[in-house]
Homo-oligomer: A and B are copies of this chain.
Amino acid sequence: MSAQAHPPVVLYDTTLRDGSQSEDVLFSAEDKLRIAKRLDALGLDYIEGGWPGANPKDDDFFRQAKQLKLQKSRITAFGSTRRAGSKVEEDQVIKGLLGSGAQVITVFGKSWDLHVSRALGIPLAQNLELIFDTIRYLKRHVDEVFYDAEHFFDGYRRNPEYARQTLQAAYEGGADALVLCDTNGGTMVEDLRRMIGEVTDLGAPLGIHCHNDCELAVANSLAAVEAGVTHIQGTINGIGERCGNANLISIIPNLKFKMQRSLTLDDEDLTQLTAVSRFVNEMANRPTQKNQPYVGVSAFAHKGGIHVSAVLKDASTYEHISPDLVGNQQRVLVSEQAGRSNLIYKLEELGIEGVDAKDPRLTELLLDVKELEHQGYQFDGADASFQLRVWKALGELPNYFELLGFRVIDERRVRKDGQHPMGAEATVKMRVAGESVHLVAEGAGPVDALHKALSKALRRDYPMVTELKLEDFKVRILGNRKGTEATVRVLIEWYDGRCRWGTVGVSDHIIAASYDAMVEAVKYKLFKDKVKPV
């Protein structure tokens, strides 16, 4: 069925509001503004910014959001219906919502009779008034008002009549969409589809807001669209309370490429999905989920030898769409399951052509890599460490410098005033350009001190090393659980103003692992910049 046959679907992002209720997530007002700009560049229709009046950080956000000059997205304020017993024009929450300056407001109300009686402690009819009043009042002041029917599906299951009445009250009040919320995330797909089918006769635009407690939020959102819903609420990467919200990053390509739905986003906008996903994870200080659908680093990564040879002949054998449609890329992994195809693919990626599949250096490299992986090295995410070994195996890696030794001293002294500053000092002894260099540097911590000492030692002969910045530093304790003596793997990500790359170090000593990863990063920098060894 062509795109024209179905009505367009609008995308409503609640990363900044519902998403921020995720256990791990802590957004400052500045983080929220940066994310809002990025989501606008992507082209989402609505961005729910928070609950103004409930939270000073959110008031901050709405105040500054007025200066944002967004191109496509409309900022939305979120809050509750007025309190029972208060007049809507005097209600503090309502005043807070209007005070935010947002031209779109979403209010949530109770659709489950039990909650009305127990949580609110008011008669069922009075709840309908709250909903109607609030929305009608807000509609006089702003462009759009959405109604979030909290616990809709649980409420509809217990008392379908009442749940419908709450929707009707909101619609009569003038709501621009009635958003059915699976607040507890416990509804099965077929049940959800059926229940939505029973309220489409209200004639109102319907929305859907799912949670992922049964791992069905995406499926439920898509089923809702099939049932006639035209407004989907979700978050980037599905972050949110408990198991998270519906993941817009999966929903968007499913809607566009699989279900041929018309969105505000065009095909080119979708190529930003991978970048947007990573950006929000960085802002949320959240580890990336490697196997995340569509945009994960592993989403188009092929490991087994058989898969690799097949996918290199014909990508459709193991890829359901082309990765560049969502801004991702195909990857061939080097691992113990790798075969020669994997290795030759990687070599070609590095611009090394014409290596014979039977070349003994290839065999040695493959064995070397498998052995290192066995010890705990992980070349995925540390591609530079792998590449160095390739160049070394092919006899192309020069001897840039030689380490003679290093020492790092970390010291904490407790002063009389009770302060106990911590310092780190690294001394490094190297041979560079035939000369022995021995020097010292201070740092915020041991890795920083070592990095500074290494730069100091090399920069006279290799000034480009000062461009190297450490971007991310991950430490994992590996398999052999021997407490503080366990093997440590350090994965470091670097950036030199132009490129990003990762290196890995493995040792039972965290400083040794960090040093190894650091030195590989420097050598990689020198090799890729085609620097001649002094």
Contacts and interface: CB of A to CB of B under 8 A. Distances in A.
Contacts of A337: 21
Interface in A468-491: 469-479, 481, 483-486, 488
B321 A186 contact: yes
A293 to B, nearest CB: 4
Interface residues of A, number: 123
Given A242-B300, A259-B188, A485 B214 contact: no
A83 B115 CA distance: 63
A285 B185 contact: no
Contacts of A397: none
Contacts of A239: 291
A399 interface: no
Contacts of A405: 411-414, 420
Contacts of A459: none
A434 interface: no
A407 B446 CA distance: 12
A452 B484 CA distance: 9
Nearest to A250: B215
Interface in A382-424: 403-414, 420, 422-424
Interface string A290-315: 11111011111111100100100110
B478 A285 contact: yes
A237 to B, nearest CB: 10
Given A188-B222, A215-B218, A422-B512, A298 B243 contact: yes
Given A23-B333, A451-B484, A509-B422, A214 B293 contact: yes
A448 interface: yes
A413 B404 CA distance: 7
Nearest to A405: B413
Contact of A410 (B243, B485, B511): B511
The 5 closest A-B pairs by CB, nearest first: A186-B320, A219-B219, A448-B484, A422-B512, A215-B250
Interface of A: 21-24, 26, 115, 118-119, 151, 183-186, 188-190, 212-216, 218-220, 222-223, 226, 238-244, 247, 250, 253-254, 258-259, 285, 287, 289-294, 296-304, 307, 310, 313-314, 316-321, 333, 335-337, 373-374, 378, 380, 403-414, 420, 422-424, 443-448, 451-452, 469-479, 481, 483-486, 488, 507-512, 515
Given A189-B223, A443-B484, A470-B484, 19 more contacts: A21-B337, A24-B378, A24-B380, A26-B374, A115-B317, A119-B314, A190-B226, A219-B219, A242-B301, A242-B302, A243-B296, A243-B298, A405-B413, A407-B410, A410-B511, A445-B511, A446-B509, A448-B485, A473-B486
